Chain A
Amino acid sequence: MGGPPYDCLANPLGAVRLAFEKAIGSELETPSTHPSAFNGKDWGALELFRHFLFQESGLSQVPILNPKTLRWVQPNSLVRYRGMIQDMLGNEFYAGAYKDGNLWRTNKFMDVSQYPMGSSPDMCIWERRLLYCVPVPGQNSWTEPSSEMEPNWSSQTREKRRRMDDEDNDPMDLVPDDEIKSSPITKKMREDGLPSPSQSRDTKTTSSSSITSTFQSVDKDNLPCLVKIYDSPESELKLNDVFEFIGVLTFDSELAVEKDDNDELSNSFYDDALVHLPPNKVPRLHCLIHRKLAVQDFLPGSPIIEPKPHLVKETREALFRHLTAVLGNDEVAAHFVLLHLLSKVHARVDDVAVGKLSLNLTGLNKESVSVFGTRLSDTFKNLLPFTNCMPLTLEYLNIASLAPKKDYQANRLVPGVLQLPEGSHLMVDETRLESGSLNSTGIENTKLLKNLIEFQKVEYDFQYYKVEMATDVQLLIFSEGKSNIVPADVIVPFQPSCLESTEMPVAEALEAWRWYLATVRSLPHSIGSEIQKVVEDDLVAARQMDRSLGSRDFSRWLTMARLISSSFGETSLSKEHWEMAKEMERLRRERLK
């Protein structure tokens, strides 16, 4: 193929069409392949794009869709969108191929047919799935790729825009966010309340704004996207997964919603959620190719670096020093925080989520939280891709909607605070809690939190019944005494020895730490049979010493041992690391006394 005869980037639909015509051979009167034979499946167009994106490394030229790029990206061009699947809107039938005169045309990857359709009887009805995606909750600014790959046709504004973008980015990086205090509530208010001012550029915020206001609409940092999936099995895409979708953008602010208000029936009982997502607010993306994003994919220029032992150890040492400094020279706490950051659910055995290690730092009060909590929160923001904070006040518990809830009126899943993708970090600040009474929402919410931390599961409210969804969220709790609302796996009394603030780490160090956390977390792990015997004997002995130890404690020790071992880049447990885990547990127990 001597270079593609079409521009995959600017005119992806042209490429699709060419491939379609080639596949059916529509130059002939009677097509050699009847379009119905495709049955909506791919006819070779995807191969074309895959080649373009990955072989010819066109991927970096594809602009990422966000509120900034949305201003200049042309409709019907190739874009990519990174987001979390927040809702699944079911499937949709469309006239996939139809006969225009003697020629077969296709509507695949399009919202609007490019040629008049008439009422041609020759038509194939195909199917596509709709996913409602939102930016990942709590996504940190470092994960956003730098916008260096603007396409050529906007190169004259390139330099300028770049400066602008940098300006936009920098304040976010530097200004310490006060998110820990009130962010989810204010954020929620912003979403639920009237459309924010930045929306005013949407000229047609007309009749439907009352409906859309319940959902996120286009504002500065929140661009939802309706992704239409064509060629992939259903099992590939799951709720709350973070994906990158590459496809054709259709964002047509001209297509205003015209509601025939005289049609009472359809208004009072409309059957489609799409009505609530007018195309002028929510861009549509006709997905050609999608890929699941792991943390590594967010690392800038992420060539997979071999986790060399000395490199891992060095990075670990540096990160540990940094954490110790952040935690006011409390080494024990720093150790546990490091392990906590590396934890993830790696298996589920019945109800037990193996591998989680939630951490409760006790001995904090309002004042110390404002120092250390903020510091930690900032540190995590720089280290982890998705971080969230939750101020556990009475008011918050009684008002907040933590669990996602199905709204049958709008036929949408209303997001809750706990609808988080795998690998999110959630900080819960319990120091602010005061005595008072909980209402039924509050009770419901505490139950949810407890379920989340114990089983790593969140119950989604479907009104008539509840559905349990497995999650994988790292929970860190700040509290004065041991938290009973959110009972963590590990309770560490926090004993800082100095209050000095730490200096900002350099960018290279941050990058190395991000890489370290992402890589080490996904290391496989195993245990040799000799060490297994040692571990088992130790557990038995421990239980004979102290009858109160149960499987939960054992499980925690093993998790700790595993994480310690992984933190050194090892893939199998060694005796040394097991001893280290026991030692850490001993130090922790001493503090508890």
Chain B
Amino acid sequence: MAGEDSGNPVPSTPESPTSAGFNTEQLPHDSSHSSDEEEAAVDPEAIRDEPDEVDEEEDDGEDLYNDNFMDDYREMGAQDQYESVGLDESVEDERDLDQIMQDRRAAELELDARDARIPNRKLPQLLHDQDTDDDNYRPSKRQRADLRPPSAPRSYDDTDGLQSSPGRSQQDHSRDDVPMTDRTDDYPYEDEGDDQGEFEMYRVQGTLREWVTRDEVRRFIFKKFRDFILTYVNPKNGHGDIEYVRLINEVVSANKCSLEIDYKQFISVYPNIAIWLADAPQSVLVVMEDVAQRVVFDLHPNYKNIHQKIYIRITNLPIYDHIRDIRQIHLNTMVRIGGVVTRRSGVFPQLQQVKYDCSKCGSILGPFFQNSYSEVKGPFTVNIEQTVYRNYQKLTLQESPGTVPAGRLPRYKEVILLNDLIDCARPGEEIEVTGIYTNNFDMSLNTKNGFPVFATVVEANYVAKKQDLFSAYKLTQEDKEDIEKLARDPQIGERIIKSIAPSIYGHEDKKTAIALAMFGGQETNVEGKHRLRGDINVLLLGDPGTAKSQFLKYVEKTGQRAVYTTGKGASAVGLTAAVHKDPVTREWTLEGGALVLADKGICLIDEFDKMNDQDRVSIHEAMEQQSISISKAGIVTSLQARCSVIAAANPIGGRYDSSKTFSQNVELTDPIVSRFDILCVVKDIVDPVTDEMLAKFVVDSHFRSQPKGANIDDKAFSESQEESQAPAGLADSKILSQELLRKYLTYAKLNIFPRFHEKDMAKLTKVYADLRKESSRGQGVPIAVRHIESMIRMSEAHARMHLRQHVTEEDVDMAIRVLLESFISTQKFGVQKALRKSFRQYITFKKDYHGLLLVLLRELVNDAMRFEEILSGSTQMLNYVDVKVVDLQAKAEEYEITNLEAFFSSSEFKACYELDEQRKVIRRHLADDR
């Protein structure tokens, strides 16, 4: 290297050794340099050979990473330079050769650094993301500084990227170097000499890990990081505060000893050092902690008495790895992994700074420093007085259940916690660890196996708990985009409802109710005193064999934090909570039942009518106040049960009797029934059409489904599921995949908090008044103020389903429709028709007309059949039934449906009916029973 430092005046001369850093990641750290040099030497030679055109670069430019970059570039006004490949010479003329060389080296350095990373990680992409944010606020002075150096190196690099190889990584450099260089020039005030040193620094010699242990490099990192802490201003909060000085003050006032550095902020200012930090974290962290310590103690000199050391915690590391995907290329780099803590050791003192007594001469040796992953063993005795200990704890982190592919067992990793991270997580918690993935020759393992097997651990640097419930379903940026795109579909509501339990045929109303319950309304707290629940409770009441349990099972599978139980309660704890004595400690402990376990989720209760008496009492409170009060065995407490309840019950006597009222049909008291927002009465109507559908569906699921062998893993499985449904006749492109639906739900629950407007209240009030009038007359479920709340909740849920932050009129109409349907279905059969008529305008809202028309048509067919039966005494000989189109039209007009064209061309219609245009009749072929 020294030879080159003297400055080679001709830029074109191959500078082979400069690229020693090339690909270091992939080689064992100590592999000979010679092969690298050979490889690297190729590049510069190639550069000179034929300078090429820019447009060719465009051809190669399919690289994902670089698209943003081009844009940035233009914003910076550096566009001209980019185009001006031909201007090279003039630029060169203006500047002295040394400068050119420096620039060039700096650029190459970046390439090297970049090169080393590309094969392993996706970091560069993140760099770009960051850069876009960044460019907008960069001070103008720096921008000017940018303009100076890049032109010369770029011209070379362009050609380099062009013709040396079509390889992507090459291409990267040619574009990347620009912003990288401008970062290095962050301090234009510094004199040239300093600059020169700086470029020198970025040119990694040898492996990166060795490089960053060099003294001059360490000094360099030290300086840069200190600058970062002392000068970084977060562009997002416009106060112009110096971010980390403020954070330091916070740390100090909270008496903590960890300073959290946002990696994304750091990388936006010093991309190179940030990459070094990610790739060779051990040594870089030492320097950074040194900086942090000094800065903190400079600012708060007396803090030394409280904490002797300040730790740097790296937050926001952009790359997230699954435990399953951690490979040897991640060794000794920084990783971010997530999982469930399954085991935690006690806290042990670990030697940190060891001093030894020599047993022969008695002199004290040391201090020796120790890493968490290796231990010093020697024939010396530890000097107890002068040795410094630190706390040490081990965790086992196991993959979260949602991320394990089917048929595999979750993997695990050991995590080491040191110092103030001790006890930051408990077994059973889901956490995310940012740390250094290290390995060592584990001596004990070695003797056991007689073989050099490496044990690997993650030395935690930063631990984030994932309190939110939805961590099992992670949303990537693409997911979010997909979801937002979906939400723009005007039919998204219907599509979601259709996608609920797609394997169950029909039952639109149940599906609507379940969809609303899964999305949920918005909890409100009136002046901080009075909480109004946002969860929607649904009761499915119906004949046996009407898929009630299947719905519940479906929600259990799809919903978040869903707990399934039966009213009889499989466990002794039951639905609410129980107090029992711990056999070991003899202490009374509380154990939550299903409702408590489902807090912030969905509680699914099958056979709701068969609840035991104890639960029946507490469920009143649980469903409205959403808490469960316990006063037993000296424990007086209240447990949270903020969940929506979806319950299923069977009618008295097994069958729903339409001639009786709702409360006569079910063994539930009115107070409990009124706590349900939506009541779905499901009657098993004798209907050949649905029977036929059912038959078809069952046959299809037997003979059309994919063979089991095709389900290689989760993804394939869900795909095959979709495929198997597609030919089932009822599926169409409108149905979302269950995976997407789950993500959509997660997104909606996390991000959408719809608000209800007063102006929509008028409509609700009117409906409420009407309903109340009707309910006093009829014998259905009494209507109470609660039902207004229900409507509000449902409209909020509907808004959330459409990812709307505000409740619109459409949402309100939908809520009214659902409530009305629920209300009407609870009435005696005779009353229903009248009610349906008087509330017609609400009921038909946005309903799937086809379904309605199908019902009407079916009624007509049934009428016609009955007519035939009376005429001929039997329908046995009947092959088909004709219904006049006019009749259907007349019926449809009662529901304000005028246009039947769409219906006639729908697949539902075509499945069973035939339209005869000439005769204006609809023909229904009857099943050939004989």
Residues of A within 8 A of B (CB): 34, 36, 87-88, 90-95, 107, 110-113, 117, 121-127, 234-235, 238-241, 252, 255, 257-258, 260, 263-266, 268-269, 271-272, 274-275, 278-279, 345-352, 354-355, 406, 408-409, 411, 413, 440, 443, 447, 462-465, 467, 469-470, 472, 524-527, 532, 535-537, 539-541, 543-544, 547-548, 550-551, 554-555, 558-559, 562, 573
B571 within 8 A of A: yes
Is B927 among interface residues, defined by CB-CB distance under 8 A? Answer: yes
What number of B residues sit within 8 Å (CB to CB) of A?
86
A94-B351 Cα distance, complex, nearest whole Å = 28
Q: Which residues of B contact A349 (CB under 8 A)?
A: 503, 701, 705, 721, 724-725
Residues of A close to B424: CB separation below 8 A = none
Tell me the bound Cα distance from A124 to B545 in angstroms. 62
By a CB distance below 8 angstroms, the chain B residues around A264 are 348
B927/A125 in contact, CB under 8 A: no
Assuming the contacts A34-B35, A462-B410, asked whether A558 and B698 have C-beta atoms less than 8 A apart, the reply is yes
Give the shortest distance, in Å, between A112 (CB) and chain B (any CB).
5
Q: Is the CB of A113 within 8 A of B451?
A: yes
**B699 contacts A92, CB within 8 Å?**
no
Given contacts A269-B394, A543-B695, contact A408 B342 (CB under 8 A): yes
Q: How far is the CA of A260 from the CA of B444 in the complex (A)?
A: 8
Residues of B within 8 A of A536 (CB): 692, 695-696, 699
Do residues A94 and B453 form an inter-chain contact, with CB atoms below 8 A?
yes
Whether B453 pairs with A235 at a CB distance below 8 angstroms is: no
* CB contact under 8 A between A525 and B703, given known A127-B328, A348-B708, A464-B428: yes
> Given A107-B452, A351-B553, A467-B401, A537–B929 Cβ distance below 8 Å?
yes
Q: How far apart sit A278 and B696, CA to CA, in the bound complex (Å)? A: 57
Q: Is the CB of A547 within 8 A of B698?
A: no
Contact A111 B570 (CB under 8 A): no
| Least CB distance, B691 to chain A, in whole angstroms | 5
Chain A residues with CB below 8 A from B439, complex form: 93, 125
Rounded to whole Å, the gap between the CB of B265 and the closest CB of chain A is 33
The 6 A-B residue pairs with the shortest CB-CB distance in the complex, in nearest-first order? A238-B407, A539-B695, A347-B705, A93-B454, A121-B30, A269-B345
> Known contacts A532-B703, A537-B929; is A467 also within 8 Å of B404 by CB?
yes
A269 to B348, CA, bound (A): 11
Decide yes or no whether B3 CB sits under 8 A from chain A: no
Minimum CB–CB distance for B644 against chain A, Å: 22
User: Given contacts A411-B412, A443-B570, are A555 and B31 in contact (CB under 8 A)?
Assistant: no
Chain B hits for A90, CB < 8 A = 411-412
Residues of chain A lying within 8 A (CB to CB) of residue B490: none
Residue-wise, chain B 344-359 has the 8 Å CB interface mask toward A (1 for contact) of 0110100000000000
Give the shortest distance, in Å, between A136 (CB) and chain B (any CB).
17
- Chain A residue nearest to B543 (CB atoms) is A547
Contacts of B706 in A (CB 8 A): 347
Q: How long is the Cα–Cα vector from A215 to B215 in the complex, in angstroms? A: 53
Q: Known contacts being A464-B427, A527-B699, A536-B699, is A94 close to B454, with CB within 8 Å? A: yes
Contact between B396 and A411, CB atoms less than 8 A apart: yes
Partner of A554, one of B346, B449, B503, B694: B694
Q: Which of A36, A239, A573 contacts B26 (CB 8 A)?
A: A36
- The answer to whether A469 and B407 have CB atoms under 8 Å apart is yes
Contact B444 A271 (CB under 8 A): no
Report the bound CA distance from A544 to B865 in whole Å.
Answer: 15
- Whether a CB of chain A sits under 8 angstroms from the CB of B284 is no
Bound CA–CA A577/B701 (angstroms): 19
CA distance in complex: A463, B571 (Å): 17
Cα separation A406 to B399 with both chains bound (whole Å): 13
Choose among B503, B545, B702 the residue that contacts A555 (Cβ–Cβ < 8 A).
B702
Q: Would you call A88 and B695 a contact (CB within 8 A)?
A: no
Contacts of A532 in B (CB 8 A): 699, 703
B753 in contact (CB, < 8 A): no
Q: Is the CB of B452 within 8 A of A117?
A: yes
Q: Which partner residue on chain B sits nearest A270 by CB separation?
A: B444
When chains A and B are docked, how far (Å) is the Cα of A541 from the Cα of B875? 13
Q: Which A residue's beta carbon lies closest to that of B701?
A: A349
Whether B707 is near chain A, meaning CB under 8 Å from some CB there, is yes
A354-B713 contact in complex given A90-B411, A111-B450, A268-B346, C-beta closer than 8 Å: no
Q: Of A107, A110, A121, A350, which is in contact with the most chain B CB atoms at under 10 Å from its CB?
A: A350
Q: Please name all residues of chain A whose beta carbon is closer than 8 Å to the beta carbon of B328 when the two chains form the complex.
A: 93, 125-127
**What chain A residues lie within 8 Å of B701 (beta carbons)?**
347, 349, 352, 354, 555
- Among residues of B, the one whose C-beta sits closest to the C-beta of A275 is B448
Q: Can you name 9 A-B residue pairings with CB atoms under 8 Å?
A: A34-B35, A111-B450, A125-B328, A265-B345, A268-B346, A346-B705, A352-B503, A409-B343, A555-B701
Which chain B positions have C-beta within 8 A of A94? 451-454
Residues of chain B in range 691-740 having any CB-CB distance to chain A below 8 Å? 691-692, 694-699, 701-703, 705-708, 711-713, 717, 721, 724-725
